[in-house]
Structure 1
């Protein structure tokens, strides 16, 4: 299903404080100093250079006492951030073609390799996925040797089978309006996951839409309060399962 919110959004401003390196041969933004705990962020279509996600990574590093990794899984490609505010660029960006180039079959092996590398270095690893990153963290969550807990914000591409297979603690940050994480899928997750014998937290955000947690409007009070709450909820979840 088409999702205009995947292309729209707001830049938050601010300066990130981490650095760029590699993990498992993937370019990666890294921030934080912990030697024991790591947070693995899987980006939405704006990718590893997206300033908003780098700012979130810095918050997570400080507030969850972790080293945070935001790798590139789009082979250097991502939506130009100007697309969020430029209707012509939104119209020109071919999202189905982008997704074909970065399908689950193509990108999950890289995602798994990063997870394995992190687990080899840190005692505990948790993850958060925004939009595209949602299905990926559910797939990682099917194998507790790859990750210790997962949080997802307005996931896209998520299937019932991926929900069925999760075996680690799960947090879902769900907006009221989401053409990708539909009401049907929300209801399925809320029925199925409690029967899987894993800790589960579903947090509902009224009045906001898909994309709010990574690119909501900070000048709109409802969106600002929701994106800040989403960040706080993720930090609380990380602290519970990292430390």
Structure 2
């Protein structure tokens, strides 16, 4: 559920321009399109499911603002953790380099201390099953309250895991989706995906390593005609788990990967929603 790279990252520059609303009694950030929605798209919307730091970090809101501009659709970011994310921005350390050398043992000790501190939150309130059920109720309420008929979903880290677990429990929730370096998911869960689905994968990812990503891609390719859906797996070299949500923009390779994965995400939603 949480790996060491979940505790590392960078806060994006800028100030969110959207507003906070309530959906199903859940605090939700709304990035509204700046122009009238194109005729025919009135019943479409997009949701971004956050990483384990949730809304307090602010990155998801800024990404939602960008998506709203590109797609000219309302983009929602629900508070998956009901105001109490397992980790908070003050516990995040910066990513100042990328290499394949082992990290100092002191880094591991810090991570284990953070993990132990987060366990009560996860076990009692914000475990994957509870968050997924909470977000399923939220998505159903969004459809009812806002008249949404076609819903696209983008999930980063924990949020990517939540997308897959939601659809494993109930199909028909989403009509298009992008899963970026997800938390741990099973192949059996991914086999329940019933919508056009794109994956963005990192070079170093304890939760979704490359051998697992290749296994998932092969499973999508092997689907029969009845269960086949459009899919893509895009590999971003030089990146670690979290780069689509908390990128180190001062590292050129990571900056370019963040720009590309953002474009991959909104273009996939635009094409299939």
Q: TM-score, normalised by structure 1?
A: 0.92
Quote the offset at 1:166 in angstroms.
Answer: 1.0
Quote the offset at 1:126 in angstroms.
Answer: 0.4
Corresponding residue of 2:196: 169
Q: Does residue 73 of the first structure (1) align with residue 80 of the second (2)?
A: yes
Corresponding residue of 2:23: 23
Equivalent-residue separation in structure 2 for 1:118 and 1:227 (angstroms): 28
Q: Say which is worse superposed, 223-232 or 103-112, in terms of deviation.
A: 103-112
Q: Does residue 110 of the first structure (1) align with residue 134 of the second (2)?
A: yes
Deviation digits for residues 177-217 of structure 1 (CA, Å, limit 9, x no counterpart): 10000233212211111214100011110010100010010
Corresponding residue of 1:206: 237
Quote the offset at 1:11 in angstroms.
Answer: 1.0
Q: TM-score, normalised by structure 2?
A: 0.82
Corresponding residue of 1:140: 166
Deviation digits for residues 22-77 of structure 1 (CA, Å, limit 9, x no counterpart): 11111111111444321111111111232111100000111011111111121211
Q: Does residue 127 of the first structure (1) align with residue 145 of the second (2)?
A: no
Corresponding residue of 1:54: 61
Quote the offset at 1:145 in angstroms.
Answer: 2.6
Q: Say which is worse superposed, 56-65 or 134-143, in terms of deviation.
A: 134-143
Equivalent-residue separation in structure 2 for 1:157 and 1:96 (angstroms): 16
Quote the offset at 1:168 in angstroms.
Answer: 0.9
Quote the offset at 1:91 in angstroms.
Answer: 6.2
Q: Say which is worse superposed, 224-233 or 111-120, in terms of deviation.
A: 111-120
Change (3 A) 1:15 1:131: same
Deviation digits for residues 206-230 of structure 1 (CA, Å, limit 9, x no counterpart): 0101000100101110110001111
Corresponding residue of 2:101: none
Deviation digits for residues 113-165 of structure 1 (CA, Å, limit 9, x no counterpart): 12112333223210011111112111333445311011111100211211111
Among candidates 72, 96, 99, match of residue 122 of structure 2: 99
Which one has a bigger Cα radius of gyration? 2
Q: Say which is worse superposed, 76-85 or 151-160, in terms of deviation.
A: 76-85
Aligned residue for 1:240, secondary structure, equals helix
Count of residues in correspondence between the two structures: 242
Aligned residue for 2:63, secondary structure, equals helix
Q: Say which is worse superposed, 18-27 or 80-89, in terms of deviation.
A: 80-89
RMSD: 2.1
Equivalent-residue separation in structure 1 for 2:216 and 2:113 (angstroms): 34
Equivalent-residue separation in structure 1 for 2:210 and 2:250 (angstroms): 28
Checking the alignment, whether the CA contact within 8 Å between 1:151 and 1:234 is kept in structure 2 is: yes
Checking the alignment, whether the CA contact within 8 Å between 1:172 and 1:201 is kept in structure 2 is: yes
Checking the alignment, whether the CA contact within 8 Å between 2:157 and 2:180 is kept in structure 1 is: yes
Corresponding residue of 1:230: 261
| Shift >4 Å, 4+ stretches | 86-92
